[in-house]
Amino acid sequence: MNNITQWRTWSATALLFVSVTSPCPAGDLTIRSFNGTGQLTFNALTTAQTYRVEWAPSPSGPWTNFTGSQGVWLDAIPGPGSGIVTCSVPMCYRVVATVTNAVIPPATPAGMVLIPAGVNNGTDPDFGTYSLTNCLALYMDQYLVTATQWDDVCNWAITNGYSFDNAGSFKATNHPIQTVNWYDCVKWCNARSEKEDRPVCYFVGGNIYRGGDIDAVTCFTNAAGYRLPTDVEWVYAARGGLSGRRFPWGNTIDHTEANYCGDPTSSGGDSYDLGYAGYDTRFSIGNMPYTSPVNTFASNGYGLNDMVGNAWEWCWDWCPGYVGADRVLRGGRWGSYGRSCRTANRYYKHPDFADDGVGFRTVLSTGQ
């Protein structure tokens, strides 16, 4: 038996209403909201039998779930659909789930970060209201796939039944691989999975996708192998837990935050571009492309680097609302203006497209 705890601080004395929801299958135990009327809402775990709400004068305790004067114990709250229980208490609150035979998730794979399950709602300054739901936690590459990673997998793949359209190009081994098309990125994901003895995600007619340019590819998103992020997964991860911001870190951009091509107001461009006009002078040396090492800039709130700028990133999805085979690209590149690097900005190209500003990163499903 295991107890899983998630807590929040509430400074005011209020009538506490406890409600249980389950917005995502097998999501993390999370206090989703605690509003001004004292309604505390948390999501349910599929593995939990009961829940209890506890309170304390500080996060260090002592914790209790007895209301005292009212004599109410909140120690056996059933799952979703069971109604609401109430009590009047102040302090810090936490929810504890009792779980039998809990599965402890494995350690985060090397080079990846955990993107938690959850919902990100907000109003983007340029694109309006949005709602992003990441139903299951997943792992995502901290960096764009580098030339070193690409070559390591490709060298194994071509001796194990794989074929690729593009060899890939790069400025240096610690820069992102680029000039890779969508088909090759999907096949590379399968090869990386097989190389590490993981189940693969992509199939064609029941067979593992290893060669050719095929649009009728099936993706098993819950398989424990590498794959491209979905469009929603990418945007949710790129926002890094922030809501309603233009970029992963805030509402303005300059050359200290991303590798892009500046187009500030002084040159007739955008008011939110606080950089200088033109390419990043640190990297616009020699021949194009002007990519940068993948660990040059600060990470976002989830620990991801280069979610905008440096290289466009292929996603799994077809471009919504577009008739054709085009696939989604996100994030902008070294030669993009700031407006193309906005988190909500979507680009699209045919899956056979490859140029010196297009790369990718991968995700792994956690099964949680």
The DSSP result for 118-152, as a single string, is: EEEEEEETTTEEEEEEE-S-EEEESSPPBHHHHHH
Block means of pLDDT (10 residues each) for the chain, 368 residues, are: 50 52 56 69 69 73 62 52 53 71 69 96 97 95 98 97 96 97 98 96 96 94 94 97 97 98 93 97 96 97 97 93 84 98 96 97 85
What domains can be seen in the chain, in order of their start residue?
Answer: 2-99 (no CATH), 105-368 (3.90.1580.10)
Q: Tell me what pLDDT residue 25 has.
A: 47
How high is the pLDDT of residue 41?
75
Report how far residue 228's alpha carbon sits from residue 239's, in angstroms, rounded to the nearest whole number. Answer: 17
Q: Alpha-carbon distance 39 to 19, whole Å?
A: 8
Q: Which residues contact 162 (CB under 8 A, 6 or more apart)?
A: 154, 187, 190, 191, 210, 211
**Beta-bridge mates of residue 39:** 17
What is the pLDDT, as a whole number, of residue 103? 53
CA dihedral sign, ordered 240, 322, 166, 179 = negative
Backbone angles phi, psi at 191, to 5 degrees: -65, -40
Q: What are phi and psi of 138, to 5 degrees?
A: -145, 165
